Amino acid sequence: MSFTRRSGRPPLHEVGEAPDYRFTLANERTFLAWVRTALAMMAAGVAVVQFVPGLDAVRHALGIILIMLGGVLAGVSYTQWERNERAMRLGQRLPRSPIPRLVATVLTLAAVVALVLTIVDLAGG
């Protein structure tokens, strides 16, 4: 039985040729790494709110940003896995994603803000 998804594209198992299973497994490991990173970001957001000293508004904003980014990453990780799998099945180049740069940028900024809050707290106390 064949069906198309809401996107109008056929399911992966009906597209192109099955790639070498090692590539499929590597793609799955990458997906799982993204999911672990998303979970870590959400946990970091909670930790920032609970443990980073300083202004409540800044801590909460930073925590919310990290939690939201974790949620976005979890959401796009499956889409990225599927795009990669489809490209491999069709013998195409793997698609590029802006997500790694976004994650690196937000985490760098979060680290700087947390560091500044900690230094200000130490200097004031």
Domain annotation covers residue 7? no
Domain annotation covers residue 111? yes
Please say if the pLDDT value at position 4 is more than 60: no
Domain annotation covers residue 4? no
pLDDT tens digits for range 88-105: 999 999 999 888 898 899
Domains of the chain: total: 1
Please say if the pLDDT value at position 3 is more than 70: no
pLDDT tens digits for range 15-63: 888 889 999 999 999 999 999 999 999 999 999 899 888 778 888 999 9
Q: Which domain holds residue 66?
A: 19-124
Domain annotation covers residue 101? yes
Distance CA(122)–CA(53), nearest Å, equals 9
